[in-house]
Chain A
Amino acid sequence: MSECISMPSIDRSSAQWFTAAAAIFRKDWQSELRTRYAISALIMFVVSTIAIVIFAIGSESIPSDVLTGMLWVIIFFSSMSGLSRTFVAEEERGTVLTLQLLASPSVVLGGKLAFNFVLVLSLNIFAVALYSLLVSEFLIVTLSIFWITILLGSMGLAAAATIIAAIIAKANTKGTLFPVLSLPILLPLLVVVINATRLAGEGAPFEDAVREFQFLIAYIVVVVTVSQLLFDYIWTD
């Protein structure tokens, strides 16, 4: 069991690790483009939640910190609809064994993590664009804080969602379990990104959000490290 947790050592094998992870990433990307399951689910979810938010607001004027919080509600639930796909699809297609033979667990996790990150980042950019187009009261003053929050928030979201997706792919009720397991893990992240986005909306100087960014980076490092250590137990039957 222990030799399976092969962390990439530095020098030559590190380059090999990246090439292998990139191959996993490319494979996922190609099969995603073939079916467009995750992408269309994510887009539809973003569009419909934003529509519901707009219907709920009606002609009321909503304070901007509520609107920034609402943006993350949209992002959280949209990600919950598509991010579990990477691992669930492997189980459904029965390709888990092939992947286990071809790549080490840490490479698989690396590739899937990269794929989910790209997916969630593009989803977030799309959601922000649509949200600021349709909700006119949504204003961001300090753009630097806002975009760094989106970037780090996407990374953290992808990191936590990937390991939880790996867990739920082995369970019987995959769909409902994903948000249930993810929420307690993602809650500290959500609290911080909502706070940082509020700062960006209020036009706080960049220095005010440094603590938030430190927290987000710490969160990402911890979640990715723990995922790498534990993934082997989930992945290999």
Chain B
Amino acid sequence: MKARIVLGVWISVVMLLAFSLPMVTEIRQWFELPVIPGLEQKARILFFHVPTAWLSTIAFIASMGYGIKYLKSRRHEDDIRSETAAAIGFLFCILATVTGAIWARFSWGTFWNWDPRQTSIFVLLLIYGAYFSLRSAVGDEEKRATLAAVYSIIAAVIMPFFMFIMPRVLASLHPQPVLNTEGTTAMNTTMLMLLLASFAGFTALSFWLWNIQVRIQRLEAHHRAISFGDQHRG
């Protein structure tokens, strides 16, 4: 209960600051954010868009991790965790795509132009979509868990090929990611701190969502088992 309130206040403050701190060309005060050429006020989407994109990938890796764990342990619990992580990743993936497209509308003049970044998030969406269509197409619980785990491992192994091939085929207009190879960033400390705070907030939020969903699923599985038993007792 207390943690929930802290999380709510945390994200509200981060979002409030993200949209209210002034952006200036010459920084004099600690609370001022730098103007990034070409991005200006549109850079503020960073505090929302980047954490969602980050979480859509992390959740996918988590889903695969629990999938591998399921293949080893064969515990239904691990499948619940894997599926729930994928569901939350899918949600964040949609959020990242939509916020990215809105940003692209005002920065590039069009919602969608098959930039490598847009292509890779599109593929991630496709993988999530395929993962859930596979889950819905298998009736047997154990078979469903196994096939979903296997599919997510195959998809995760294929993903690095995109990172390698896409920049070779298409040039990107996407602003440099925070964790780029050169280690450069146009942000000042305040901006970076705020972004990290947003990362922390959204990660905690998704973990909380995941935790609730896992508990709901666990109760539902339990409930199914009980009502199944009742029916068979007559």
Question: Secondary structure at chain A's binding surface: helix, strand, loop or mixed?
Answer: helix
Which segment of A40-48, A121-129, A173-181 sits at the interface?
A: A173-181
Q: Is the CB of A188 within 8 A of B134?
A: no
Residues of A close to B150: CB separation below 8 A: 167, 230, 233-234
Question: Secondary structure at chain B's binding surface: helix, strand, loop or mixed?
Answer: helix
Rounded to whole angstroms, the CA-CA distance of A184 and B134 in the bound complex is 13
**A191-B169, A233-B71, A233-B150 known; A177 vs B134 contact (CB < 8 Å):** yes
Chain A: residues with CB nearer than 8 A to chain B? 163-164, 167-168, 170-173, 177, 180-181, 183-185, 187-188, 191-192, 195, 211, 215, 218-219, 222-223, 226-227, 230, 233-234, 237
Residues of A close to B139: CB separation below 8 A: 172
Q: Assess whether B205 is interfacial by the CB under 8 Å rule.
A: no
Residues of B close to A233: CB separation below 8 A: 71, 146, 149-150
The one of A181, A187, A219, A226 that contacts B153, using a Cβ cutoff of 8 Å: A226
Q: Is the CB of A184 within 8 A of B165?
A: no
Rounded to whole angstroms, the CA-CA distance of A163 and B71 in the bound complex is 17
Query: Closest 8 A-B residue pairs measured CB to CB?
Result: A188-B161, A171-B137, A184-B126, A184-B127, A173-B137, A230-B150, A181-B130, A171-B138
Residues of A close to B27: CB separation below 8 A: none
Q: Is the CB of A180 within 8 A of B154?
A: no
User: Considering residues A163, A164, A184, A195, which has the most beta carbons from chain B within 10 angstroms of its beta carbon?
Assistant: A184
Residues of B close to A192: CB separation below 8 A: 165
CB-defined A-B contacts under 8 Å, sample of 18: A167-B147, A170-B147, A172-B138, A173-B137, A180-B133, A183-B126, A184-B123, A184-B127, A184-B130, A184-B155, A187-B162, A218-B161, A226-B153, A226-B157, A233-B71, A234-B146, A234-B150, A237-B143
